[in-house]
Structure 1
Amino acid sequence: MTASAEARETALLAAQAAADKLATDVSIVDVSDRLAITDAFVLAAAPNERQVQAIVDEVEERLRRHGVKPVRREGVAEARWVLLDFVDVVVHVQHAEERAYYALERLWKDCPTIPFVDRAAPPAADGAPAATGTLSTDDVDPGSSDPVPLAPDPTEDLTEDDLTDDELADEDALEGDPLQEEPLGGAADGDAGTTGR
């Protein structure tokens, strides 16, 4: 037995709502073979209590717009592990520390997962959805403690043949003597436009 189509749709809506509020490690586990009380768990994590609460609010609002209301809410006051029970789907939004400690995926590892890909994730070069949260060492500035991908230098692979005449002139001007007395525009030394050094 697998999760019902309605439960799958609800779980995917909840997962996307969580991802839209920048939840991390969003996954859906089909627990219908193991539990009689629900079909699927949506698991999501956040780095702090405020974001846990924001994710919970967004999940509730998004599902309410689709006519699905929670029958039970737990953990909202502490915002470390909030459980939203939508009967067929139970959403667990955990602080990242709780997510790592309790490892619900490991507890339910014998259950199949329901594929979820964040619609905001950029597609990979081959057209398939890109894996989120995966950076290689080439993508990160080694001198930084922040693992933010480096932006490529748009002129890095350009040759002189790729540059326009104006761009070449700008490069030549930059390579000139930085202490030259002649100001830009070609004024003579005696002009009022000199730097006065």
Structure 2
Amino acid sequence: MSATEKSIEMVRAAARAASEKLAKDVIAIDVSDRLAITDIFFIASASTERQVNAIVDGIEDELHKFGMRPVRREGRSAGRWVLLDYADIVVHVQHEEDRIFYALERLYADCPIIDLQMAESDPSARRTAEPVQAD
């Protein structure tokens, strides 16, 4: 089983919104074969807590236009790792340091990467499926 078209459309909208808020290393992973609870993990990062929250606001605003609201929201007050659960997709916006430490991409490295159809010139777009690593 792979991610539904609805999930893919949602994650592409989230990616556009995150990109507008200058998110870094935006990636979407199809976890539908590994997890029964969701289709896609969307991951983005930022260098400050304020930017993490701005990205989250942008994603929520964009998905709200499609009538989507998260069924669960975690981590907003700390601004280090915010999780938005939309059932079909789970959005993870992480501070760069937390993203390196928890390495979600490494946990799901065997899952397919979803083409977010972002412009090659977009600095938010991931160029590879490689996990983010410390320098």
Larger Rg: 1
Q: How many residues were matched structurally?
A: 124
Q: Which consecutive unaligned segments of at least 5 residues does structure 1 have? A: 120-128, 134-197
CA RMSD of aligned residues (A): 1.3
Q: Which consecutive unaligned segments of at least 5 residues does structure 2 have? A: 125-135
The question of whether the paired residues in 1 share the 8 Å contact of 2:42 and 2:89 is answered with yes
Please state which structure has a larger fraction of its residues in strand.
2
1:123 is matched with none
1:23 is matched with 23
The question of whether the paired residues in 1 share the 8 Å contact of 2:12 and 2:117 is answered with no
1:1-197 equivalences in 2 (<5 Å): 1-119=1-119, 129-130=120-121, 132=123
User: 1:79: Cα distance to partner?
Assistant: 0.5
User: Take 1:131 and 1:13, find their aligned partners in 2: how far apart are those partners?
Assistant: 15
Could you give the per-residue CA deviations for residues 103-138 of structure 1, whole angstroms, max 9, x where no partner exists? 11111001001012434xxxxxxxxx34747xxxxx
What is the TM-score normalised by the length of structure 2?
0.88
What is the TM-score normalised by the length of structure 1?
0.61
User: Take 1:48 and 1:95, find their aligned partners in 2: how far apart are those partners?
Assistant: 6
1:178 is matched with none
User: Take 1:43 and 1:82, find their aligned partners in 2: how far apart are those partners?
Assistant: 10
Q: How many percent identity over aligned positions?
A: 54
The question of whether the paired residues in 1 share the 8 Å contact of 2:63 and 2:69 is answered with yes
Instruction: Could you list the structure 1 runs, at least 4 aligned residues long, displaced by more than 3 angstroms after superposition.
Output: 130-133
